[in-house]
Structure 1
Amino acid sequence: MLQNYLRVAARNLRLYLSNTILNMLGLGLGIAGAMLIFLFLRYHISTDRHQPAADQLYRVVLDLHLDEGMEHEPGSAYAMASALSKDYSGVEKAGFVRRLPVVTLSSGSGVATRRFMEKENVAYADAGYMELFAFRWLGHHAAASMEEPFTVVVSRKLAMKHFGTVEVAGRILRLDNAHDLKITGVLADESRPTDFAFDAYISLPTLKITEPTTWTTDFSWISSRNFTFVKLRPGTAPGIVERLIARNGKKYYGEHADKYYHHHLQPLSDIHFNENYGGKIRRSMLWILGGVGGFLLVIAGINFINMATAQAAGRSREIGVRKVLGSTRQQLFWQFMVETALLTCLAGLLALLIILPLPAVLNSWTQTNAFLLSRLPKPDVMLFGLAILAMVVLLAGFYPAVIVSGFNPVAALKGRLSFGRPGGFGLRRSLVVVQLIIAQTMITGTVILVMQLQFFRNADLGFDQKAVIKVTLPVQGTGKRESFKNDILQYPEVRSAAFQYDAPTSDMGFGGSVRFDNRADWEKFVVRIRFADADYLKTYQIPLLAGRSFSDRDSVREFIVNEEFMKKLGIRDPAYLLGRSVEDGFSGNKSRIVGVVKSFHLKSLQEGIEPCIIYAQPEQYREIAVRLNPGNISTALSHLRNAWQASYPDEVFNYEFADQKIASFYAKEAQLTSLIRAFAWVAIAICCLGLYGMVSFMVTQKTREIGVRKVLGAGVDSILVLFGKEFMLMILIAFAVSAPLTWLAMNSWLSHFAYRIHLNVWLAVSGGLLIIPVTALTIGYKAVSAALMNPVKSLSNG
């Protein structure tokens, strides 16, 4: 029986080839879109879930309860890791890791030296951290080496980059041209999604020697690059450890510990998603994308239903003959379900062909490896694919099969089937409205996403970041900085240059409380710090409201404050601040204000402007910002590189445009926008196929009516109106539903940003306005063909 079903199904698919192609294309696009979104969701949801005892792993985070609100700090002091492992019985093991922003690693000597600058992929770690997380070792490794200074374990990728082999145990890597590190092990490159994979782990005792300061014992030495992880003993609740930390707060932080410092144990499963503590992506974004994937399948299924029922009218006589010859309703039902299953399998193959060339592009968009082709054969991915096919067969095939198998044989043979009964044509029209609601919602949402992203890119940050290049300075050779700066200022392409820790807008979080003008109490607000030299304002073109830039003289500290600092003090006249003293709680410096600048954005536009102090602190400089004159950028870079080689022949020349760095703050929004925009186009394409199927059905149903109208003198325009009013009504109904839903959803999304676009009527109706021409073009061909049909032929076919 099944063989017969398959043979008849294959014959019918060939017979109605145009409908088969349209259905395959619609289902294929829907399945491909859903599979790609599933791969993206799977990647993020599975992040770090492979770690051993993942449910027992926590990161120690800190909430600072300040007078002006709460600040969330993902980092912690190194001393906290030591205290947790020694003093808390509920903690089975504690580990510490410190992520480094930029280091130089070199190997070999003389002309054979290989030197690379590593960004964000080198860390200091202790033995506890290496035991807490899952590492796959290549060959033998010395586990105890992480407790010894000047040792390092490296990834396979880094070993191959420096030595061309993984047999590197005992070889030497040189750190920042100053310290030799002995390689004691090689790690397999991490292919599983994780937020804590580095290419080199330097033993933490090394840091204690290279930076012999009090940071190892000072609990207040907190950095967002320092992370403490703990594994709790079975049966130990995180709340118990949190209360014990709070109980020891005064010992750690002093008298004000209870008021300001509140530690929490953040589950490993929450780290990737909690943006308060530096998470990579909000769970709400994943649910939005998951909804988009579901929508794609829904509108693809609606297409199939509409196309199948439109085609059923043409197959009515076939069904009538089958029933007269003895076919039962059950047999006809399974015949159409087999046809649907065969078509869906073909659509699945088409979906696979659509997916195959896309991973490189999508991985580039999302800056992940979520779309690797090697993930497709994974059992859960294959199971999801089969589930999609089964769901499409059931949802898309069930209704047409029930309708077709229930045809009256006499009416079917005479071609007088009626689709106007309740649940017939009305249901199909409702399904098209659902498609239009989804399409309009996705179009409007995409427009708002794009506009918010453009707002980020074009917003006035309070300074000019264009044509500014940031060059990373070496840790060693600080005495050559001034000569390097003087050399590059000789080039006509260079307008100005300034030493800095980072650009005005950055992820730099240094700051603390201040005491203004010898007041008895410290101010209730936090002031952020920017370390830079006297040319900082000139290089970034930050406008002065009063006073001047500071002097670079180390013996006399001078401060520049921003306008927000003035506002927080309740002062309106910037000149009033000049000459007033400020004691900076972060550095302990007490100096006078010599300038007030216009407020600029210290962080991304997701956050508000904060008070800021700018002052010179040469030991903190890690970059030089160079403003270029408009012209030939490549020539300017060549000159900068030549000057670098003259001053730092043994260092890697590394640069970054300031506006590119700022754009990276909105990478998550850019990823979401790119994905939603791509899938919105897919949804529109599927919706167009559905509209075409609907108008095909309408032409079939109204053939006799069109013939009668033309015989009675109706023109082409009136025939087009006959079709147009149907679809215009559906568009208006869809708009009435989608507009408020989109408004609420996007307004909720925009509420996460301190600076945002404001929704207006035009944005709310954008989806409806854009869907009208799309609909017109889609239905136009079929409607015009029907309008131009010979009325005699229409009446004879009707």
Structure 2
Amino acid sequence: MLRNYLKIAFRNLTRHKGYSFINIGGLAVGMAVAMLIGLWMYDELSFNKNFQNYDRIVQVMQHITQNEKKETQGINPYLLGPEIRAHYGDDFTYVLQSSQSHKLLAHGDKRFIKSGRYFEPQVTDMLSLKMLEGTRAGLKEPYSILLSESVAKTYFGEESALDKTLRMDDKTDLKVTGVYADMPINSSFRDLGYLLSWDLYLIENQWIKELEDPWRPNFTETYAQLTEQADLKKVSAKIKDVKLNKVDASRKKLKPEVFLHPMSKWHLYAKFDNGINVGGRIEYVWLFGVIGVFVLLLACINFMNLSTARSEKRAREVGIRKAVGSVRSQLIVQFFSESLLVVAFAGALSILLMVLTLPFFNELADKSISVPWPNPVFWLSIVGFSLLTGLIAGSYPALYLSSFKPLTVLKGIFRVGRFATVPRKVLVVLQFTVSIALIIGTIMVFRQIQYAKDRPVGYERDGLITIFNNQETQDNFEAITNELESKNTVAGIAQASAPPTDVWSTSTGFSWRGKDPSLAVDLPNNSVSHDYGKTVGWQFAEGRDFSRAFPTDSSAIILNKAAAKFMGFGDKAVGEIIYDDGEPCRVIGVIEDMVVQSPYEPVRAAVYHLADGWSSIVVLKLNSDKGISTALAEVKSVFTKYSPTVPYEHHFVSDDYAQKFGDEERIGKLASFFAILAIFISCLGLFGLASFVAEQRTKEIGVRKVLGASVASLWRLLSKDFVLLVLIALLIAAPVAWYFLNGWLQKYTYRTELSWWIFAAAGAGALAITLLTVSFQAVKAALMNPVKSLRSE
């Protein structure tokens, strides 16, 4: 029986090739989109799950309260880990201190700057590293190093790396005591190229042990693993005041509150608002999950609409089958078998489409997703997904077509009735409601990104580059400056404690005249050289820049406008005295606010002072009179001359700033990709319906042409119903999109507005696409010779 059903289904497909192509093509695209989104969601939801102790690994973080608002940060005092270990050790298997590291590692003539971490030795067990060489005990000696497999191959090729020596920063020899397998791409430690001993970190940074108040600065990260019996919420509550009990009275005002953030939430639930975890990327996971369901539903709607639209052509078949004894359940199985056959073809085509588009999709999403071909769960999911799609797509046609009464059909008086088209119209409206909402959402995402990009940043990004400082460039900075200026390569060169696009240091030790004793302070504190303002293009609202003509500038500071306002000085800050840990500093200038961190948030109050020692960053403004490539080549030549042992590398500040929009831009590109496919699927169905309507009204069109109807009037006749449906869809999509987009925009302090023209543009675009889709069939029908359409009369 099933074989017979499939044979009939196959004959119907081959007999009506156009409709079959639309059905199979639409379903294939919808299924491919759903599969891609499914792979993306799986990649996101499986983040960090490669670690055996995934459910018990946590990061120790803290909230600090500044003037009634909580801020959350992942760095802590270096004594926090030992303090927790000493007093709450029964709840933890490990409590480990860590710090990020970017080091020059050299072996022979192979010299590269690599990223890794300083960590306490037990990290190898906590992260369950897969050791390819050596053992997990490799970090017990301070001058040891563990390498990832890829880094080991970079230096030693296929040779064993064990017991070989790497030289770090041209001054410290490290013994390779182990090689571990590379971390997966979907891991928080994906860039863990090497591991260094925490003891080495303390040896290299002797200033740590000389700190007057070791509980004041936050500069290390703390990771831990809970015991199997420990309850995360209870342990988090236990350690809440561990830092509060150690800081002095001035820091107690910040109300530091220590808590545990589980690894399961690091990636998807990384966003905190006023001390409350409010989600993060999980919002995008569910958003694209919903989009995937809707795009697949659009494809299923095409199948439903085209199957029911052709109901009159299949009514006689249903009548004869019922007359010869077929019961309704058999007919339902028959029609479901047809839909499953269509889905089977579409499923095979969708897998091909998925494989072909996966590289493009990975580039859009910044992923390295691969299809898990050997995984039986993947194939079971594909089969189950296809069956579900077949059942959804075939449900309405099967129930509708099997309900025809044989007597009415075989007497030749069967008509579908004027209300029979209502479900089809509802489904078309649903299709375009989804499509228009996606278009509006895509426009708004890019509009918000552009709005933030157009925000005045308070300095000149064009031609501005940064280079990480090292001891050689620090020692030869004056010579480097003179040579670059003599060659007219740069318009400015300076040093700073951080790049213009980031904050690397804050201070709580500021006070000033009239400061409220209860006011909590934690301001970005930037050290810069004399020419920093000239190099980045500071814009002064008041006062002057640092100058070598004034020796007293060594104790001077410059505020941004946000700091002047925060301190209550308004537009008369110049001449005020600010105390930095008790040391008086005179304000000599106020600059326009520089957008340093998030371009979507208000600028933080910040302080700038002259550097009196080491600076981490060299900032250069390339001379616009020279070509960028020429200037960069000259900069590289000079830096390589004075720092031959360190690989040269520069970063454009404009690129660093652009990275701040990375997540939003990726989401926008993905949303536009899905919106285009949604429109394509909807138009595919619309094309099929338009061709069927034109075919159904062939004789009517012939009569109208004989009576003098023009091609334009016939085009209007066949198009107006579809245009009306799209207009109804716009009326539904607009308020729905407004509601969700308005909620999304509230996440951003600095945000654009929902303008009426966005909805109008989306509606006009949908109408234009609809008319283009329908017009082909409408004009084709209108141009048909009426003699041919009326000859059977």
- State if a TM-score over 0.5 links the two structures: yes
Q: What are the superposed Cα offsets for residues 152-173 of structure 1, whole Å, 9 maximum, x if unpaired?
A: 1111000111111261011112
Q: Which residue of 2 aligns with 1:383?
A: 380
Q: Which residue of 2 aligns with 1:526?
A: 522
Q: Which residue of 1 aligns with 2:170?
A: 177
Of 382, 389, 398 in structure 2, the residue corresponding to residue 392 of structure 1 is: 389
Does residue 1:593 correspond to 2:587, yes or no? yes
Q: Aligned letter for 1:46?
A: S
Of stretches 170-179 and 619-628 in structure 1, the one that deviates more from structure 2 is 619-628
Q: Which residue of 2 aligns with 1:405?
A: 402
1:292-307 counterparts in 2 under 5 A? 292-307=291-306
Of stretches 84-93 and 253-262 in structure 1, the one that deviates more from structure 2 is 253-262
Q: How far apart are residue 712 of structure 1 and its match? A: 3.8
Change (3 A) 1:327 1:241: closer
Q: Which residue of 2 aligns with 1:268?
A: 263
Q: What are the superposed Cα offsets for residues 440-480 of structure 1, whole Å, 9 maximum, x if unpaired?
A: 00000001111112223332211111111112222555212
Does the residue aligned with 1:358 lie in a helix, a strand or coil? helix
Contact 1:44 1:193 survives alignment (8 Å): yes
Q: Which residue of 2 aligns with 1:165?
A: 158
Distance between the aligned counterparts of 1:783 and 1:307, measured in 2?
17
Contact 1:316 1:415 survives alignment (8 Å): no
Does residue 1:220 correspond to 2:216, yes or no? yes
Distance between the aligned counterparts of 1:594 and 1:502, measured in 2?
21
Q: Which residue of 2 aligns with 1:544?
A: 540
1:461-480 counterparts in 2 under 5 A? 461-475=457-471, 478-480=474-476
Q: Which residue of 2 aligns with 1:665?
A: 660
Matched residues, number: 782
Of 436, 445, 456 in structure 2, the residue corresponding to residue 460 of structure 1 is: 456
Distance between the aligned counterparts of 1:173 and 1:749, measured in 2?
49
Q: Aligned letter for 1:308?
A: S
Q: Which residue of 2 aligns with 1:342?
A: 341
Contact 2:473 2:639 survives alignment (8 Å): no
Q: Aligned letter for 1:560?
A: I
Q: What are the superposed Cα offsets for residues 596-621 of structure 1, whole Å, 9 maximum, x if unpaired?
A: 11112121222211111112225452
Of 134, 141, 146 in structure 1, the residue corresponding to residue 139 of structure 2 is: 146
Change (3 A) 1:135 1:478: same
Structure 2 unmatched runs, 5+: none
Q: Which residue of 2 aligns with 1:32?
A: 32
Distance between the aligned counterparts of 2:373 and 2:547, measured in 1?
61
1:349-364 counterparts in 2 under 5 A? 349-364=348-363
Q: What are the superposed Cα offsets for residues 619-658 of structure 1, whole Å, 9 maximum, x if unpaired?
A: 4522211111334111111111110121011111001110
Distance between the aligned counterparts of 2:701 and 2:97, measured in 1?
76
Q: How far apart are residue 182 of structure 1 and its match? A: 1.1
1:1-12 counterparts in 2 under 5 A? 1-12=1-12
Contact 1:344 1:392 survives alignment (8 Å): yes
Of 578, 582, 594 in structure 1, the residue corresponding to residue 578 of structure 2 is: 582
Q: How far apart are residue 555 of structure 1 and its match? A: 9.0
Does residue 1:535 correspond to 2:525, yes or no? no
Contact 1:296 1:683 survives alignment (8 Å): yes
Distance between the aligned counterparts of 1:634 and 1:763, measured in 2?
40
Contact 1:306 1:693 survives alignment (8 Å): no
Q: What are the superposed Cα offsets for residues 163-202 of structure 1, whole Å, 9 maximum, x if unpaired?
A: 1126101111222222111111111122362112401111
Q: Aligned letter for 1:387?
A: G
Q: Aligned letter for 1:419?
A: V
Q: How far apart are residue 728 of structure 1 and its match? A: 2.2
Structure 1 unmatched runs, 5+: none
Does the residue aligned with 1:747 lie in a helix, a strand or coil? helix
Q: Which residue of 2 aligns with 1:693?
A: 688
Distance between the aligned counterparts of 2:289 and 2:709, measured in 1?
48
Change (3 A) 1:301 1:18: same
Distance between the aligned counterparts of 1:475 and 1:348, measured in 2?
60
Q: What are the superposed Cα offsets for residues 462-508 of structure 1, whole Å, 9 maximum, x if unpaired?
A: 11111111122225552122222222222334211111233333253
Q: How far apart are residue 517 of structure 1 and its match? A: 4.2
Q: How far apart are residue 277 of structure 1 and its match? A: 5.9
Q: Which residue of 1 aligns with 2:103?
A: 103
Of stretches 478-487 and 339-348 in structure 1, the one that deviates more from structure 2 is 478-487
Of stretches 383-392 and 36-45 in structure 1, the one that deviates more from structure 2 is 383-392
Q: Which residue of 2 aligns with 1:71?
A: 71
Q: What are the superposed Cα offsets for residues 43-101 of structure 1, whole Å, 9 maximum, x if unpaired?
A: 11111123223222221110001115221112222311112222114422234353436
Contact 1:313 1:700 survives alignment (8 Å): no
Q: What are the superposed Cα offsets for residues 191-240 of structure 1, whole Å, 9 maximum, x if unpaired?
A: 362112401111111111111123699233213xx321222233433343
Does residue 1:451 correspond to 2:447, yes or no? yes
Contact 2:503 2:524 survives alignment (8 Å): no
| Identical pairs, percent | 28
Distance between the aligned counterparts of 2:515 and 2:711, measured in 1?
85
Distance between the aligned counterparts of 2:631 and 2:101, measured in 1?
26
Contact 1:317 1:414 survives alignment (8 Å): no
Does residue 1:52 correspond to 2:52, yes or no? yes
Does residue 1:244 correspond to 2:243, yes or no? no
Does the residue aligned with 2:593 lie in a helix, a strand or coil? coil
Does the residue aligned with 1:260 lie in a helix, a strand or coil? coil
Contact 1:85 1:93 survives alignment (8 Å): no
TM-score, normalised on structure 1?
0.92
Q: Aligned letter for 2:681?
A: I
Q: Aligned letter for 1:338?
A: S
Of stretches 501-510 and 775-784 in structure 1, the one that deviates more from structure 2 is 501-510
Change (3 A) 1:501 1:59: same
Distance between the aligned counterparts of 1:248 and 1:99, measured in 2?
21
Change (3 A) 1:686 1:415: farther
Q: How far apart are residue 578 of structure 1 and its match? A: 2.4
Of stretches 255-264 and 594-603 in structure 1, the one that deviates more from structure 2 is 255-264
Contact 1:528 1:611 survives alignment (8 Å): yes
Q: How far apart are residue 415 of structure 1 and its match? A: 6.5
Does the residue aligned with 1:556 lie in a helix, a strand or coil? helix
Q: Which residue of 1 aligns with 2:768?
A: 773
Q: Aligned letter for 1:556?
A: S
Distance between the aligned counterparts of 1:634 and 1:376, measured in 2?
45
Distance between the aligned counterparts of 2:375 and 2:352, measured in 1?
18
Q: Aligned letter for 1:35?
A: M
TM-score, normalised on structure 2?
0.93
Change (3 A) 1:632 1:230: same
Distance between the aligned counterparts of 2:509 and 2:699, measured in 1?
83
Of 619, 630, 647 in structure 2, the residue corresponding to residue 652 of structure 1 is: 647
Q: How far apart are residue 514 of structure 1 and its match? A: 1.6
Does the residue aligned with 1:734 lie in a helix, a strand or coil? helix
Contact 2:146 2:177 survives alignment (8 Å): yes
Q: What are the superposed Cα offsets for residues 258-301 of structure 1, whole Å, 9 maximum, x if unpaired?
A: 86111111122111123436999521111111111011111010
Distance between the aligned counterparts of 2:189 and 2:408, measured in 1?
68
Of 429, 432, 455 in structure 1, the residue corresponding to residue 428 of structure 2 is: 432
Q: Aligned letter for 2:41?
A: L
Q: Which residue of 1 aligns with 2:224?
A: 230
Contact 1:33 1:679 survives alignment (8 Å): yes
Q: How far apart are residue 544 of structure 1 and its match? A: 1.4
Of 210, 213, 234 in structure 1, the residue corresponding to residue 204 of structure 2 is: 210
Contact 1:470 1:655 survives alignment (8 Å): yes
Distance between the aligned counterparts of 1:364 and 1:93, measured in 2?
40
Distance between the aligned counterparts of 1:380 and 1:505, measured in 2?
45
Contact 1:475 1:622 survives alignment (8 Å): no
Contact 1:488 1:640 survives alignment (8 Å): yes
Distance between the aligned counterparts of 2:667 and 2:604, measured in 1?
28
Does the residue aligned with 2:447 lie in a helix, a strand or coil? helix
Contact 1:512 1:528 survives alignment (8 Å): no
Contact 1:166 1:186 survives alignment (8 Å): no
Does the residue aligned with 2:541 lie in a helix, a strand or coil? strand
Distance between the aligned counterparts of 2:139 and 2:171, measured in 1?
20
Distance between the aligned counterparts of 2:18 and 2:515, measured in 1?
83
Does residue 1:615 correspond to 2:609, yes or no? yes
